[in-house]
A and B are shown apart, each in its own frame.
Chain A
Amino acid sequence: MDMLILNKNELIDNIKSLFKDYEIVGPSQLDGKLYFRPVKSMDEVVWDFVNPVNNIKDFFFPPSQVLYELRQDRIKAFEPDTKKKRIILFARSCDTRALNLLDKLFIGNYKDTSYTARRETTTIIGLSCLEPADRCFCISLGGGPFATKGMDVSISPVRKDKFLLHILTDKGKDIIAEQGTRPEREELSLTEALKQKAEEAIKRKINIPSDFFEKFDSDYWKGVSQACIKCGICTYLCPACHCFDIIDEGYFRIRCWDTCSSDTFTKMAAGEDHRKQKYKKYRQRIYHKFQYYKENFGEIACVGCGRCTTYCPVKMDIVEIVNNS
């Protein structure tokens, strides 16, 4: 693991040099909200933020993707456009950890070709969190504001205009030019102090009870799910949620995002639906994240970013609901 110090201008110049060979995706403003989206210059990139509305899974597992076109006489498969390599700039550790979680599914026993292709051609530059939001609870799930899991290069602040870069993978090595200085002990301790401060700022903790699985049949779920309106915001904005539907639109077979909260998620032929009631749907979501994914893949499918609570139309608080179960 290589470490080097760059000042802000050197860092900006380094990233600017990447614009000609890579497609750069970074946090930028649009209509008053912050999104991860392709940017044309460093002027569009925002440095001071908590987390954009969307997360980086959009660029590996897009909301809607054509698989193939099927006509009477031919079938045409659509490959993801990976000719131009891509860099995701300033991803937070929660989002990058979530990507590793998704890898377990999409590049597990069966390799999803488009996801794998996009993964291989994308480099992730992460940015440590200096000022986590009230809604964040990454630490109680094994993450942290200065964590580096899932990043190819991690950028941590030393001071206002100085940054400490960790180059964590070969892909990261390819994009960072040979400049900068070796970190001094004083600089490392400055970063460490900022890390401590950020970690202390995260007060929210999620506490999954040890007898969580036994609570399945409890009436608790009926009570807590009453406010839910069964939209898809929590699932679509969650960096770890990954359920999809395969639909036919005319000649095209399309894979698109789906949400377990929707009425059609468990609808089967002849109108059968085993998970019709809202509390069952909500219970399923919680259990999938905090129990089943752990049983199947070894990790809890939640990274503590808090988007689900912030953007929920009725502000359902997942931490409160799990802690009180």
Chain B
Amino acid sequence: MSRSHFDSGEKVKKKLKIIGFLCNWCSYAGADLAGTSRLQYPADIRIIRVPCSGRMNPLLVLKCLQEGADGVLVSGCHPGDCHYQEGNYYVRRRMLILKNLLEYFGIDKRRFHMSWVSASEGAKWADVVKKVVKDVRDACEEEVKTAG
């Protein structure tokens, strides 16, 4: 009847919808570097630029999952390197709680990830996306299998 809320639907689509919230100063620049370096990584991720990972409201993550995203990734600067000094420290605590809570309610923990990617880590960005896409695909396939 309604949209599938938090559920991945009846079958796993060929192209997943993973929303990535990238901090402007490190992760977004890192992803840009991966692009200019012509590094290959799956195109299932759609990027939203935020000024700092500390801006991330867990509600945004939840809203993405409810609206039909297969997975969510939040990426920021390494601890100690935040452009705004402390943003990533706070979000680290917030997302820890969120991750535990999502798992508790039976939502596969592989559908939500967090990473630290700096502006020079283009290769790491490509690896992160590959890992995230694989994890999300596995999680969705498993969910469809156990539901059906």
A residues sitting closer than 8 Å to B (CB atoms) are 66, 78, 249-250, 252
Contacts and interface: CB of A to CB of B under 8 A. Distances in A.
Contacts, number: 8
Nearest to B1: A66
Nearest to B3: A250
A contact face: mostly helix, strand, loop, or mixed? strand
Interface of B: 1-3
Nearest to B68: A250
Nearest to A251: B3
A252 B1 CA distance: 9
A250 B3 CA distance: 8
A253 to B, nearest CB: 11
B139 to A, nearest CB: 24
A250 B1 CA distance: 12
8 contacts: A66-B1, A66-B2, A78-B1, A249-B2, A250-B2, A250-B3, A252-B1, A252-B2
A271 to B, nearest CB: 22
Nearest to A254: B2
A299 B74 CA distance: 58
Contacts of B3: 250
A250 B2 CA distance: 9
Contacts of B2: 66, 249-250, 252
A249 to B, nearest CB: 7
B2 to A, nearest CB: 6
Contacts of A250: 2-3
A78 B1 CA distance: 10
A21 to B, nearest CB: 26
A76 B26 CA distance: 47
Given A66-B2, A249-B2, A252-B2, 4 more contacts: A66-B1, A250-B2, A250-B3, A252-B1
A201 B2 CA distance: 47
B66 to A, nearest CB: 10
B34 to A, nearest CB: 34
B137 to A, nearest CB: 25
Nearest to B2: A252
A66 B3 CA distance: 12
Contacts of A66: 1-2
A249 B3 CA distance: 9
B117 to A, nearest CB: 33
B24 to A, nearest CB: 30
Nearest to A78: B1
Nearest to A66: B1
A250 B5 CA distance: 12
Contacts of B1: 66, 78, 252
A256 B1 CA distance: 15
Nearest to A250: B3
B17 to A, nearest CB: 15
A66 B2 CA distance: 9
Contacts of A78: 1
A206 to B, nearest CB: 41
A249 B63 CA distance: 13
A250 B68 CA distance: 12
A317 B1 CA distance: 39
A251 to B, nearest CB: 8
Contacts of A249: 2
Chain A to chain B: the 6 pairs with minimum beta-carbon distance, closest first: A66-B1, A250-B3, A252-B2, A249-B2, A66-B2, A250-B2
A134 to B, nearest CB: 38
B107 to A, nearest CB: 20
A66 B1 CA distance: 8
A141 B144 CA distance: 53
Contacts of A252: 1-2
